[in-house]
């Protein structure tokens, strides 16, 4: 959750003073207007005349959840549940909806192919691990393509409506798998729009997701949003993993980095509006219902199920478990009943008809088997039910049975908990519902596929002592009360605002094109300069991707570098360090002849070229995992033509830039699974998935962390006699190494620690030489990326070599 963000963003609310009619001043907090975009509006429209409409509440958790957004000025954009073809009808519907804060999206002829087709027959089953339905296997290309075209068209229609109603400063919050292309359309139209995307369903493991033909387009679009949210960490992890495997982007602790652009990915478990349920269950009408239902049920214990009649809800599994329970517990027959509210949904899809028939068949069988003239064990209702009746049912329920095979969250569980009164019921909850992570502690968690386990859980719930029920209820009630829909929306919006504010602040500071004139001027003025250079992409041949040949060209030094770099290194006032993740022998081979410092393996080994290598590995570092990782890398290298791996004392890097990159990505994904399952499962390592590489290294091996040790060694070595008053740090570094750019910020005096004797064999002179760096003499430069912590950027190693040349030229070296 993102509670830490809340305070910061509350401060961003604008103060707005209003004069009341009586002259009193009131200060109000004005929040950005919120445009909620979802497939369905909270109400479904029904035409009652040429220009008149009536409305009923749309079913499903998304609607229930978003109705709880009270503290935002919200406009809701979505489909009204009907097709309207005439102008009179559209106008009348639009104005009736406007009074409810809703804006209709008319999907017309694309609706069926879009909603029943691509959304609910392709994305929905894939996202819920059901796979593509069989009918696509016969004429897959035609059906799939036309439905995807409809999806694109529908997303365009949503975009047009948002565009029409968007006002500067609005936040556009896109909901669910129906509008995955919308973030991209919005950002292409206006890159400053604040766009969030939240998925209410599970995001499947990349193994399942990758079966989707349009997998890359959808991911790329979602990544254009400023913030991407999920109900659980599992879903977020699967999403990040899919982005890494399919798009080859880099993952960080905050989200996904694509070409330097960071998309934040975070977890926001949705809640309900607890007060609505608590208060409703106290209403006299509801209490009347409770009495009536209890009477109707004739003193039998009540097991309740409330689900849309959807394959993912596991209703047949629920029936089978109940059948087993009755079969094995004769004494409970006639004393317990299962009431299933099976809310109709997506009737236009064949699979939904089938599940209905299947349920009816099972109910018939079980009722035939265990029913009597006076009662049947299962009441199955194909309808939705009135809210007050629903709350009454929740309140008198002994066991709520949730057997979802997969479920984004499952709000029914929370609603049940909120409605409990004196005698507490028991929640049996599928471990495959997102709610399992939040309410598991106060529930009996089950695997719905294990009929025996569910049947046993029913028995356990029915026999549970009042004290245990009370204890479990208390845990969950506390959670439900404090994790409301409003809280959920606040968290999401606050995080989104925080991201945008930080990005706005960032834009003014980073990165500018390198001011060459200043770099040279300050260089000439200074007396003790430190020049830190990366290797790959900084000093190597600037081949473009498409020019890559079958050999390791990027390992070649830039053709014009040699003389220029030698000149720079020969300047007595300049200390040059090449800081690379490469191992010692590669740096030796390329830079052994220069008068400079070499920091291999991200600073784990250091030497001045006139001296021997010094080991800078912290003593406690555990490196036992290396052999296991090496074996896995070897296996994949043999099976991925063109790939290679480099092994050093603290890291192993597998690189597939010269392999078929698509294949390389697939292999990288499998490789990571092998690694996590085996050699690194218990090791203290960082795994970095680069654009075309996988690197495993000991924790804490970043260039920024190494800088401290490097500086200490250089200073102790006495090669610098005066404080460093100029730093130029240029590299094409991974995101995790960008800490090196901030090492010398904000340009104040740094005192270096003498290196501990255990770090090296060479004797140490304890020196306290300092860095005395003015802000204008510090230049951190990223190559080829504009989203960076560096102050400046350069395009390629050509620019680096040119710059080195000019530094020497103007300085007469
Ligand atoms: O509008 P429908 O196509 O009939 O479907 C109803 C909704 O079903 C899905 O709900 C999900 O959202 C809930 C709240 O986050 C969550 O608890 C549940 O697990 C999900 O299944 C769907 O994601 C919505 O878009 C639909 O409106
Ligand atoms: O007749 C009914 C019974 C229930 N619900 C509501 O439908 C939602 C179901 O949400 P959940 O997250 O459990 O699953 P979803 O249907 O969204 O997959 C809950 O808020 C229920 O109160 C409904 O709209 N009509």
pLDDT digits (tens, 9 = 90+) for 347-376: 888 889 999 999 999 999 999 999 999 999
Report the pLDDT averaged over residues 177-204. 97
C-alpha of residue 236 to centroid of ligand 1, in Å? 18
CB 27 within 8 A of CB 21: no
Test site for ligand 1: of 344, 408, 439, 480, most ligand atoms within 8 A of the Cβ: 408
CB 652 within 8 A of CB 679: no
Q: Is the pLDDT of residue 553 over 50?
A: no
427 three-state secondary structure: strand
pLDDT at residue number 719: 62
C-alpha of residue 670 to centroid of ligand 1, in Å? 32
Test site for ligand 2: of 38, 56, 61, most ligand atoms within 8 A of the Cβ: 61
Ligand 1 atom 15 nearest Cα? 200
256 three-state secondary structure: strand
Test site for ligand 2: of 308, 339, 432, 433, most ligand atoms within 8 A of the Cβ: 308
pLDDT at residue number 663: 82
CB of 44 sitting under 6 A from ligand 1: no
C-alpha of residue 700 to centroid of ligand 2, in Å? 47
CB 423 within 8 A of CB 466: yes
CB of 616 sitting under 6 A from ligand 1: no
C-alpha of residue 150 to centroid of ligand 2, in Å? 27
Beta bridge partners of 77: 37, 103
C-alpha of residue 100 to centroid of ligand 2, in Å? 21
C-alpha of residue 99 to centroid of ligand 1, in Å? 25
Q: Is the pLDDT of residue 554 over 80?
A: no
HSE-up of 417 (CA within 13 Å, CB side)?
A: 35
Distance of CA 547 to CAs 213, 540, 544, 551, Å?
29, 14, 5, 11
Among the bound ligands, name the one nearest to the CA of residue 305.
Answer: 2
Q: What's the chain's average pLDDT? A: 87
Report the pLDDT averaged over residues 304-328. 98
Nearest CA-CA partner of 339 in 311, 388, 387, 375: 375
Per the confidence metrics, is the pTM higher than 0.95? no
Extract the tokens encoding 717. Answer: 């070595």
C-alpha of residue 201 to centroid of ligand 1, in Å? 7
Query: 175 or 557: whose pLDDT is higher?
Result: 175
pLDDT at residue number 676: 84
C-alpha of residue 349 to centroid of ligand 1, in Å? 16
Residue-wise burial string across 103-133, b where 16 or more C-beta atoms lie within 10 A, e elsewhere:
bbbbbeebbebbbbbbbbbbbbbbbbebebb
C-alpha of residue 53 to centroid of ligand 1, in Å? 25
Q: Is the pLDDT of residue 342 over 80?
A: yes
H or E element that contains 689 = strand 685-689
C-alpha of residue 409 to centroid of ligand 1, in Å? 9
CB of 412 sitting under 6 A from ligand 1: no
CB of 60 sitting under 6 A from ligand 1: yes
CB of 407 sitting under 6 A from ligand 1: yes
Report the pLDDT averaged over residues 142-156. 92
Among the bound ligands, name the one nearest to the CA of residue 416.
Answer: 2
H or E element that contains 454 = helix 451-463
- Over residues 602-619, the pLDDT tens digits come to 898 999 999 999 988 877
C-alpha of residue 415 to centroid of ligand 2, in Å? 9
C-alpha of residue 308 to centroid of ligand 2, in Å? 7
38 three-state secondary structure: strand
Among the bound ligands, name the one nearest to the CA of residue 310.
Answer: 2
pLDDT-based confidence at residue 750 (cuts at 50, 70, 90): low
pLDDT at residue number 24: 38
Q: Is the pLDDT of residue 767 over 50?
A: no
Report the pLDDT averaged over residues 637-648. 88
Query: 136 or 256: whose pLDDT is higher?
Result: 256
DSSP classification of residue 82: S
Which of 108-112, 235-239, 346-350, 763-767 is predicted with the least confidence, judged by mean pLDDT? 763-767
pLDDT-based confidence at residue 498 (cuts at 50, 70, 90): confident
Which runs of E-coded beta strand occur in 177-320? 194-198, 227-230, 250-252, 255-258, 261-267, 301-308
Among the bound ligands, name the one nearest to the CA of residue 415.
Answer: 2
Which runs of E-coded beta strand occur in 403-506? 426-430, 444-446
- Ligand 1: atom nearest CA of 58 is 1
Ligand 1 atom 7 nearest Cα? 60
Ligand 1 atom 24 nearest Cα? 62
pLDDT at residue number 789: 85
Nearest CA-CA partner of 115 in 160, 157, 76, 164: 157
| CA–CA–CA angle 465, 471, 473 (5° rounding) | 100
Test site for ligand 1: of 60, 268, 313, 403, most ligand atoms within 8 A of the Cβ: 60
Among the bound ligands, name the one nearest to the CA of residue 62.
Answer: 1
- Ligand 1: atom nearest CA of 178 is 25
CB of 62 sitting under 6 A from ligand 1: yes
pLDDT-based confidence at residue 138 (cuts at 50, 70, 90): low
β pairing state of 171-175 and 194-198: parallel
Ligand 2 atom 23 nearest Cα? 59
pLDDT at residue number 226: 95
Test site for ligand 2: of 58, 124, 176, 306, most ligand atoms within 8 A of the Cβ: 306
pLDDT-based confidence at residue 217 (cuts at 50, 70, 90): very high
DSSP classification of residue 657: T
pLDDT at residue number 708: 85
- Ligand 1: atom nearest CA of 345 is 4
C-alpha of residue 450 to centroid of ligand 2, in Å? 24
pLDDT-based confidence at residue 137 (cuts at 50, 70, 90): low
- Ligand 2 neighbours by CB, cut-off 6 Å: 59-62, 64, 306, 308, 341, 343, 384-385, 390, 409-412, 415
C-alpha of residue 107 to centroid of ligand 1, in Å? 19
3-state secondary structure string across 505-550: HHHHHCCEECCHHHHHHHHHHCCCEEEEECCCCCCECCCCHHHCCC
- Ligand 2: atom nearest CA of 308 is 16
Report the share of the chain in percent with pLDDT over 70. 88
Q: Is the pLDDT of residue 633 over 50?
A: yes
Among the bound ligands, name the one nearest to the CA of residue 408.
Answer: 1
Residue-wise burial string across 483-502, b where 16 or more C-beta atoms lie within 10 A, e elsewhere:
bbbbbbbbbbbbbbbbbbee
Report the pLDDT averaged over residues 726-747. 86
| CA–CA–CA angle 50, 56, 61 (5° rounding) | 140
pLDDT at residue number 647: 86
311 three-state secondary structure: helix
Nearest CA-CA partner of 394 in 281, 563, 314: 281
The complex's ipTM? 0.98
Nearest CA-CA partner of 757 in 701, 698, 712, 708: 712
Report the pLDDT averaged over residues 154-163. 98
pLDDT at residue number 475: 94
pLDDT at residue number 565: 95
Q: Is the pLDDT of residue 142 over 90?
A: no
pLDDT-based confidence at residue 555 (cuts at 50, 70, 90): low
Domains of the chain: 33-267 (3.40.50.2000), 274-483 (3.40.50.2000), 512-543+555-618+702-746+768-810 (3.40.50.1000), 624-698 (3.30.70.1020)
C-alpha of residue 668 to centroid of ligand 2, in Å? 40
pLDDT at residue number 754: 45
CB of 415 sitting under 6 A from ligand 1: no
Other C-beta atoms lying within 10 Å of the C-beta of residue 88: 10
- Over residues 11-38, the pLDDT tens digits come to 233 333 333 333 333 434 456 789 999 9
């Amino acid at each position: 959750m993102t509670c830490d963000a809340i305070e910061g963003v509350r401060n961003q609310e604008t103060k707005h003073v209003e004069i009341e009619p009586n002259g009193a001043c009131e200060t109000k907090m004005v929040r950005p207007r919120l445009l909620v975009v979802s497939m369905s509006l909270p109400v479904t429209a029904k035409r009652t005349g040429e220009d008149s409409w009536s409305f009923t509440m749309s079913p499903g958790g998304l609607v229930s959840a978003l109705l709880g957004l009270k503290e935002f000025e919200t406009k809701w954009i979505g489909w009204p549940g009907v097709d309207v073809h005439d102008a009179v009808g559209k106008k009348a519907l639009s104005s009736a909806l406007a009074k409810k804060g809703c804006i209709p999206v008319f999907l017309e002829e694309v609706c069926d192919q879009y909603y029943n087709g691509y959304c609910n027959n392709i994305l929905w089953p894939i996202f819920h691990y059901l796979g593509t339905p069989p009918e696509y296997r016969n004429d897959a290309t035609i059906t799939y393509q036309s439905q995807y075209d409809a999806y694109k068209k529908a997303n365009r229609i949503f975009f047009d409506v948002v565009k029409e109603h968007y006002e500067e400063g609005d936040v556009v919050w896109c909901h669910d798998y129906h509008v995955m292309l919308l973030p991209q359309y919005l950002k292409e139209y206006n890159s400053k729009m604040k766009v969030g995307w939240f998925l209410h369903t599970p995001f499947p493991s990349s193994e399942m997701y990758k079966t989707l033909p349009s997998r890359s387009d959808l991911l790329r679009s979602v990544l254009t949003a400023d913030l991407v949210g999920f109900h659980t960490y599992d879903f977020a992890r699967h999403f990040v993993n899919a982005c890494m495997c399919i798009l080859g982007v880099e993952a960080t602790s905050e989200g996904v980095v694509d070409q330097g652009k960071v998309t934040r990915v975070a977890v926001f478990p949705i809640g309900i509006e607890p007060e609505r349920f608590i208060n409703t269950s106290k209403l006299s009408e509801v209490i009347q219902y409770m009495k009536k239902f209890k009477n109707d049920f004739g003193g039998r214990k009540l097991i309740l199920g409330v689900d849309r009649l959807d394959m993912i809800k596991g209703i047949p599994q629920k029936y089978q478990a109940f059948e087993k329970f009755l079969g094995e517990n004769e004494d409970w027959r006639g004393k317990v009943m299962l009431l299933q509210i099976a809310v109709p949904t997506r009737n236009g899809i064949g699979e939904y008809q089938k599940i209905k028939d299947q349920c009816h068949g099972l109910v018939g069988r079980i009722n035939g088997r265990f029913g009597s003239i006076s009662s049947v064990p299962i009441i199955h209702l194909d309808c939705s039910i009135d809210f007050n009746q629903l709350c009454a049912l929740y309140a008198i329920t002994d066991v709520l049975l949730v057997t979802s095979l997969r479920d984004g969250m499952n709000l029914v569980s929370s609603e049940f908990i909120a409605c409990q009164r004196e005698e507490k019921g028991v929640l049996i909850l599928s471990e495959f519902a997102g709610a399992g992570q939040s309410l598991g502690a106060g529930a009996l968690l089950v695997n719905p596929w294990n009929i025996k386990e569910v049947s046993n859980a029913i028995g356990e719930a029915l026999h549970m002592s009042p004290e245990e029920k009370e204890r479990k209820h208390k845990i969950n009630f506390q959670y439900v009360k404090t994790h409301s829909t409003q809280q959920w929306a606040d968290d999401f919006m606050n995080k989104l605002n925080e991201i945008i504010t930080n990005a706005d602040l960032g834009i003014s500071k980073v990165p500018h094109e390198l001011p060459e004139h200043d770099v040279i001027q300050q260089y000439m003025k200074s007396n003790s300069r430190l020049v830190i250079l990366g290797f790959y992409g900084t000093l190597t041949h600037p081949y473009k991707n498409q020019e890559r040949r079958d050999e390791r060209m990027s390992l070649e030094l830039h053709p014009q570098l040699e003389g220029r770099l030698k000149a720079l290194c020969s300047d007595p006032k300049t200390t040059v360090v090449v800081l690379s993740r490469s191992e010692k022998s590669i740096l030796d081979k390329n830079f052994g002849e220069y008068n400079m410092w070499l920091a291999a393996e991200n600073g784990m080994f250091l030497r001045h070229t006139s001296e021997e290598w010094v080991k800078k590995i912290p003593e406690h570092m555990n490196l036992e995992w290396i052999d296991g990782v090496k074996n896995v890398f070897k296996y994949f290298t043999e099976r991925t033509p063109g790939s290679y791996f480099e092994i050093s004392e603290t890291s192993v890097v597998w690189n597939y830039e010269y392999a078929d990159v698509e294949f390389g990505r697939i292999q990288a994904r499998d490789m990571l699974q092998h690694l996590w399952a085996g050699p690194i499962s218990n090791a203290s390592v960082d795994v970095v998935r680069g654009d075309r590489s996988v690197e495993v290294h000991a924790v804490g091996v970043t260039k920024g962390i190494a800088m401290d040790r490097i500086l200490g060694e250089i200073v102790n070595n006495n090669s610098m006699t005066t404080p460093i008053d100029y730093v130029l740090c240029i590299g094409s570094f991974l995101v995790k190494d960008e800490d090196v750019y901030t090492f010398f910020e904000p340009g104040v005096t740094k005192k270096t620690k003498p290196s501990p004797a255990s770090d090296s064999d060479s004797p140490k002179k304890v020196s306290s030489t300092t860095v005395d760096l003015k802000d204008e003499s510090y230049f951190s430069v990223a190559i080829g990326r504009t989203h960076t912590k560096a102050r400046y950027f350069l395009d390629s190693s050509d620019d680096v070599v040119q710059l080195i040349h000019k530094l020497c030229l103007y300085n007469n070296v």
